[in-house]
Amino acid sequence: MWGPNTITYVSFFIALYFESFLLVTFLSEPARKRRLTERNSNTAPSVAIIVPCFNEENTIASTTESLLKLEYPKENLSIILVDDGSTDNTANVMARYARHPRIFIHTKENGGKHTALNAGIRIAKDADIIGCLDADSFVEPDALGFAITAFDRPEVMATTSAMSVHAPKNLIQHMQYAEYIFGITMRHILSSMNSLYVTPGPFSLYRMEVFKKIGYFSHGYQTEDMEMALRMQKAHMLIENSPRVRVYTKAPSTITALIKQRMRWTSGFLRNMLFEYRGLIGNPRYGVLGIGVLPLSIFSIITVAGLFLFSVFQIISNMIHMFIVSRGIPLSYILTPHTFDWFYFPITTLLLVGIVLMSMTIIFMIIGKQISRTPGKLTKSTASYILLYWIISPIWLVRAIADTITNTHHTWR
């Protein structure tokens, strides 16, 4: 009988096996050679960076300034700012750059992020490489130099960056900082198996021929970057990762904002998989992505959400039971202090596997920080991650599943 305990054991051991597999892949010789890439490209293709904006008056200037500081031949770099019908002061801030020779400004009616990106692609029709950068993100000066080396290999159609949180201030942002550093390692390993299924908005680069062959960005259930990556995978296009391409993004600072963001991401993933790219799931034609990464991603979402709901049910049931039982127990007994003895602390297999899993997660964070050379300390962020992530993440998973079932949609902002 597959009860909650059995499901938990199976889930933990699958996660342990998968993380071990990823670690072995990271240590393999091919993966090691890929990490030795330096800024040694002899080519400087024309690059257009598109920045889609919607109500980004507080960050668009900093984002643009970071792009102007890119160490790349100026004659081969253009920046396209697309205002997707902002209702704040974004258009006026963008207007300050109207006279800059390398910056193009385009204003359009609100239609969603994918329409803003597509407008930029049409403007940059002669560019060899199309880059995307969210208007709340910032790049290091050497980012483009490192990213462009990926395209020295003609089979590479896109490359992704090493994202981290910009200036985390509270526990929620520190938690995300640790999560993003962990993600740097994950993306790097998955790219070595051509198993990336997201080309994130913060500084992903594409060859122009990608859009000519498989089309422009689509709505993708408000996850256009994921939908594009899945479409590329379906067309057997190679997506690379460049861990030395450092980009910083502004993370949600409240639990409410974080849950809203992650609900959109998770429900977008589920909808894309269930309604658009079901043929990739379990399909050996797509390698590790098809037979491993996508099925395990779906399994983990459903399992974590299910176990969370069962745990909440158990806690409520136990509280009701304790309340009923306590009515027949003298108050003096309830208030009697009880001592805790570590000798009687239950050391179970599940607990040990959980400790190993958390230890490997921390190792992945350390690896991500090293291969990307991201500044900052991990101590506070790791503690925040261990303390908060397992409590908060099931909430957005449950709500994302509910949104998918009820066909509830969320806005870009």
pLDDT in tens, 37-71: 555 567 899 999 999 999 999 999 999 999 999 99
What are the Cα distances from residue 118, in Å, to 124, 220, 233, 279, 323?
10, 13, 20, 26, 59
> Residue 247's pLDDT is what?
98
Tokens of 56: 């980004």
d(CA 305, CA 299): 10
pLDDT in tens, 265-308: 999 999 999 999 999 999 999 999 999 999 999 999 999 999 99
For the record, the structure tokens of 413 come out as: 């902002």
Strands 156-165 and 204-207, sheet pairing: antiparallel
In this predicted model, what pLDDT tens digit does every residue of 373-408 receive, in sequence order?
A: 998 889 999 999 999 999 999 999 999 999 999 988
Share of the chain above pLDDT 70, in %: 92
Report the predicted TM-score, pTM, of the whole model to 2 decimal places.
0.92
What SS3 state is found at 240?
strand
d(C-alpha 310, C-alpha 318), whole Å: 12
Question: With 80 as the cut, is the pLDDT of residue 412 above it?
Answer: no
Q: What is the pLDDT of residues 9-42, one digit of tens each?
A: 888 888 888 999 999 999 887 777 776 655 556 7
Tracing tokens 């000519």 back to the chain, one arrives at 212
What pLDDT was estimated at residue 366? Answer: 96
Q: What is the mean pLDDT of residues 149-163?
A: 96
What is the per-residue pLDDT for 40? 59
**pLDDT in the model for residue 175:** 98
Average pLDDT, the chain: 91
CA–CA distance, 126 with 103 (Å, rounded to integer): 15
Question: Can you tell me the distance from the alpha carbon of 257 to that of 136, in angstroms, rounded to the nearest whole number?
Answer: 15
Q: Which domains does the chain have, with CATH numbers?
A: 21-291 (3.90.550.10)
| Distance from C-alpha of 111 to C-alpha of 48, rounded to nearest angstrom | 21
Say yes or no to pLDDT of 1 above 90: no
Task: Give the residues across from 53 on adjacent strands.
Answer: 83
| Helices vs strands, H then E, count in the chain | 16, 8
The answer to whether 65 touches 96, Cβ cutoff 8 Å, is no
Mean pLDDT of 100-106: 97
Instruction: State the pLDDT at residue 367.
Output: 95
The arrangement of strands across the sheet holding 47-53 comes to: 103-108, 77-84, 47-53, 129-132, 204-207, 156-165, 238-249, 137-139
CA separation (Å) from 3 to 15, 316, 343? 18, 19, 29
Instruction: Fill in the amino acid letter for 322.
Output: M
Q: What secondary structure, in 3-state letters, does 147-168 show? A: HHHHHHCCCEEEEEEEEEECCC
> Taking a C-beta distance cutoff of 8 angstroms, is the pair 110, 78 a contact?
no
What percent of the chain has pLDDT above 90?
Answer: 76
